[in-house]
Amino acid sequence: MFVVTSYDISSPKGYHILSICRRYLTWVQKSLFEGNISEKQLKKMVQELQKEIENDDSIVIYTYLYNQNNKIIIGKDKSKQYKFI
């Protein structure tokens, strides 16, 4: 499956998040990654990321598999905090 991952980390563990994402995906820019990985690799990456985040941290993972598109949020869902007018 094709995966796009982005993170917003305020904790000092940002380097750990970067390292985990780089193990599985291609680093596109600052906190954006993409690549093809298996479902097993995705689950392992999510487990590793969950161990590193803190209260206000947020990681968003979009998965694309043929006609199925999913969004996984680890940590705080910041997409619902702000309304644009």
Kindly report the pTM of this predicted structure: 0.78
Residues in the chain: 85
- Total of domains in the chain: 1
β-bridge pairing 26-29 and 68-75: unpaired
**Mean pLDDT score across all residues of the chain:** 85
Rounded to whole angstroms, the Cα distance separating 41 from 45 reads 6
For residue 28, what is the domain's CATH number? 3.30.70.240
Could you tell me which residues are beta bridge partners of residue 27?
33
Over residues 3-22, mean pLDDT: 90
Q: Regarding predicted confidence, which is higher, 70 or 80?
A: 70
19 lies in some domain: yes
49: tokens are: 């990321």
Over residues 61-72, mean pLDDT: 79
pLDDT at 81: 54
**Residue 21 is part of which domain span?**
2-80
63 lies in some domain: yes
38 lies in some domain: yes
